[in-house]
Chains A and B, each alone.
Chain A
Amino acid sequence: MMKSRYLPLIATCLIFVLAYALCYWQFPFMLSTRVVGNLLTDNAFLGIAAVGMTFVILSGGIDLSIGSVIAFTGVFIAVVLKETSLHPLVVFALVLIITAIFGGIMGAIIHYLEMPPFVVTLAGMFLARGIAFVISTDSVPVKHEFYTFLQDSFYRLPGGGRITVIGAAMLVVFFVGIIIAHRTRFGTNVFALGGGIPTSKLMGVPVAKTTIGIYAISGFLAGLAGITFSLYTSAGYSLAAVGVELDAIAAVVIGGALLTGGSGFIAGTLIGVLIMGLIQTYIIFDGTLSSWWTKIVIGILLFAFILMQKGLLLAASAQKK
């Protein structure tokens, strides 16, 4: 029982290995570097956004604005590249600053006005989506040689698989996220907030700074996810990425984080994202199943994880008595 906090993570890893084994048993080709490479590329934007969501959920909050911010970022980049001669890297930097500030402002409202994160980020969700529509209602294609260059750059794995720029970016974001969450004072403060804000205050945790930081990170990573999405689709569309925030929440929970905050792992979220990607890949391989089966399986997995968390909490409290 002593390592019970690792149990959800272990369970997630186990499910992933089992699911992969099942896929391999039916379709041996699933265990190839090509599939792995595509898994990373296809889920890069979701993974990056989910890292931000993990920070938010670890602190006991929620961020519903992520999908809209991704759409806003895509439209912003596409329109600015079309209308001006700015280099894409400059536009990326600009949009990341905007989204980080956007997140930071939501964090400040949550802290100083003592508003529930759900409501504040819901407002943020409408706002970001609305601004995306104001910029452009059409799907704006991105044509720039730098984009083509990034899309064509990859590291070839033995067996023909490709680690693309965006796939690698996701892995780097996860690595940095793990360091920040588990090895810095800021990370400890995030967990502290998830354990209880009044107690954290009494213990001297800088609650305001941490809350604003968390939502700024989430906004920044949503912006980065938006850049990734724009590289992935070569377009910006204000109706894109609807509901991605919910996929991100699902990935975080399947990754073993407690929705009430204070417990979880960034690495778990990576596995959570990969499990969701794996289900989709399986359906593509099968070819006869409707893609909605992805949602059904994810729904079942979520239920299972919520039940497991409840069970663990009950077991822990029973042990205490």
Chain B
Amino acid sequence: MNKNQPLLKATKIDKTFPGVVALDRVDFTLKAGEVHALLGENGAGKSTLIKCLTGAYHRDGGDILLNGETISPRDTLDAQGLGIGTVYQEVNLLGNLTVAENMMIGRQPQRWGMIQTGQMNWQTKEILSQYGLDIDVAQLLSTYSVAIQQIIAIARAIDLSGKVLILDEPTASLDAKEVQMLFGVIRKLKQKNIGIIFISHFLDQVFEISDTITVLRNGKLIESVATVNISSIDLVTMMLGYELGEETKSKEHDGVEREILVEFSNFGHKQSIEPFDLVVGKGEVVGFAGLLGSGRTETAETLFGVTPHDSGTATFKNKSVNLSSPRAAIANGFGFCPEDRKTDGIIADLTVRENIILALQAQRGWANPLPKSEQDEICKKYIKALDIRPTDAEKPIRLLSGGNQQKVILARWLATNPAFLILDEPTRGIDVGAHAEIIRLIENLCEDGMSLLVISSELDELVAYSHRIIVVRDHQHIAELVGSEITTNNIVEAIAADLNVDNGQYELKGVIS
């Protein structure tokens, strides 16, 4: 085989889902012995591309060449047989089987139809020893840590496939030491000329381990570049799609002294967000910026009691309040529109009316049902105010478009008349026209004196409506921008800061997640 021939070459891959172009003529080339990082925010097309490569999806157009031959994997098993193995963040092995059974299932050594357990265990030990693992393979897989399970999964994938290894967020649940252990394994595989596709939100890890970086955004290939030739700022800029120096808007500090509505001090949750202090004034919009997985959503969930805080206190209108569950938070006048409408927000088969009155009814208690006439009145009011279409409140909500579903959820919380409303990605997955409407709505609400906390990846939108922006990274609140400091430039710089790139020496301290 020609040494310079790429191991895996995908050209002009197209994939369309109803209403969405997930991949638009994307090229991707992987060389043998290379670690190739694939980056992009949610919805950029990373996972779609991976699924096309592993046969989980069938591409609509384009070619995939493995060692110069066109392949069309039917499913992941087929791809595995061709030489493309995948290891997911959630280890896809069986915790209730032993390590050896996981490694050898379907190909256990047999004699007279009986498994030769001793030989199976010995073979597994041989395979794992190549990865520096010396463990009791007769134990259940679930008795080992996620890091070890991860390495076992890699060993299995390599043993079965042996050409291309796709690592999908392999480090998401590992600690720093375990990450280094995993990287040791990856470096060994590189020497064996295996091509590795590495997907991660941890940019410092990407800089540490990868040779090449490919960035996707909105289903398009943005750039494919050698890791040594790119700075962290350029990388973040490519991922988010903002040119530095391009200004959206610079707002003067409005100078209004706001009455403090909620105050959190030393508020946090061990596994999801470092303790932080946060003050929100009446009628203020606080924006949360950060990359996917940085701790934005975790902050919101901790505030709302979805993952109850385990440190710190909260005061609401100068009174100490209990925020240990969503019920408690609602009782205190909080509202929360979650990020994933489909799973956390709407109840698809209920009607628009039922979805709208849900939170209000919960607040009143089941013994005190809302009269139908009042329900109808509330629905009519919000359908008109938010311009929800179609206007028929008795339609099942699943028939509405994404933007209108989002408005229904907003209406649900507005109906409870909250003093403090948390919006997580209010404009995700809705069309551009609806974006503007949602933004106008946010501005109106805050003029009416409601306090809002908005999480968004759309930096220019955040800049447009926020009075204050908190930048979150690595599960910490790292910067606060006020007034004229609020620019997309400053946000991008804050996200990328501390990712020091000096002569190829990458510091491990500022983990972007």
Contacts and interface: CB of A to CB of B under 8 A. Distances in A.
B142 interface: yes
B94 A183 contact: no
A200 B140 CA distance: 16
Interface in A245-270: 262-263
B105 A203 contact: yes
B94 A203 contact: yes
Interface string B105-116: 110101001110
A179 B106 contact: no
Interface in B46-92: 76-77, 80, 92
A183 B97 contact: no
Interface stretch (A130-138, A188-196, A281-289): A188-196
B96 A184 contact: no
Contact of A188 (B95, B105, B140): B105
Contacts of A206: 106
A204 B105 contact: yes
Nearest to B156: A203
Contacts of A320: 145
A2 to B, nearest CB: 7
A199 B105 CA distance: 12
A192 B94 contact: yes
A5 B94 contact: no
B139 interface: yes
A185 B92 contact: no
Nearest to B113: A184
Contact of A184 (B93, B105, B115, B140): B115
A150 to B, nearest CB: 30
A205 interface: yes
A316 B113 CA distance: 34
Interface residues of A, number: 24
A203 B96 contact: no
Contacts of A205: 105-106
B101 interface: yes
A316 B92 CA distance: 19
B143 interface: yes
B114 A184 contact: yes
A204 B142 contact: no
B336 to A, nearest CB: 26
Contacts of B108: 185, 188
Nearest to B117: A183
Contact of B96 (A185, A191, A202): A191
Nearest to B141: A195
Contact of B92 (A179, A184, A202, A263): A202
A206 B145 CA distance: 28
Nearest to A179: B114
A183 B108 CA distance: 10
B120 to A, nearest CB: 10
A179 B77 CA distance: 29
B217 to A, nearest CB: 29
Contacts of A195: 94-97
B105 A183 contact: no
Most buried by B among A189, A204, A316, A320: A204
A262 B114 CA distance: 20
A194 B95 CA distance: 10
A191 B140 contact: no
Most buried by A among B105, B117, B145: B105
Contact of B115 (A5, A188, A203, A316): A188
A189 B101 CA distance: 10
Interface in B442-484: none
A196 B105 contact: no
Contacts of B140: 5
A3 to B, nearest CB: 9
Contact of A183 (B77, B96, B115): B115
A203 B114 contact: no
Most buried by B among A183, A189, A262: A183
Contacts of A5: 140
A262 B139 CA distance: 15
B394 to A, nearest CB: 32
A202 B161 CA distance: 14
Nearest to B143: A2
A242 B180 CA distance: 60
Interface in A150-202: 179, 183-185, 188-189, 191-192, 194-196, 199-200, 202
A320 B105 CA distance: 25
Contact of B101 (A2, A188, A263, A316): A188
B110 A185 contact: yes
Given A184-B114, A185-B108, A200 B94 contact: yes
Contact of A192 (B76, B77, B105): B105
Interface in A284-321: 316, 320
A203 B93 contact: yes
A59 to B, nearest CB: 11
A200 B76 CA distance: 12
Contacts of A185: 105-106, 108, 110, 115
A185 B116 CA distance: 10
A200 B102 CA distance: 10
A191 B94 CA distance: 9
Given A184-B113, A316-B142, A196 B94 contact: yes
A320 B91 CA distance: 15
A199 B93 contact: yes
A194 B139 contact: no
Contacts of B95: 195
A262 B143 contact: no
A34 B115 CA distance: 38
Given A183-B114, A184-B114, A202 B94 contact: no
Most buried by B among A2, A5, A185, A263: A185
Nearest to A185: B108
Nearest to B114: A183
Contacts of B143: 2
A188 B110 CA distance: 13
A49 B93 CA distance: 31
Contacts of B115: 183-185, 188
A180 B307 CA distance: 45
B97 A191 contact: yes
Most buried by A among B92, B94, B101, B114: B94
Interface in A1-32: 2, 5
A262 B141 CA distance: 13
Contacts of B139: 2
A179 B114 CA distance: 8
11 contacts: A183-B114, A183-B117, A184-B114, A191-B94, A192-B97, A195-B94, A195-B97, A199-B94, A200-B94, A203-B105, A320-B145
Interface of B: 76-77, 80, 92-97, 101-102, 105-106, 108, 110, 113-115, 117, 139-140, 142-143, 145
Given A2-B143, A192-B94, A203-B105, 9 more contacts: A183-B115, A185-B105, A185-B106, A185-B108, A188-B101, A200-B94, A206-B106, A262-B96, A263-B96
List the 10 shortest-distance A-B pairs measured between CB atoms, nearest first: A195-B94, A262-B96, A195-B96, A183-B114, A204-B106, A202-B92, A199-B92, A263-B96, A188-B101, A204-B77
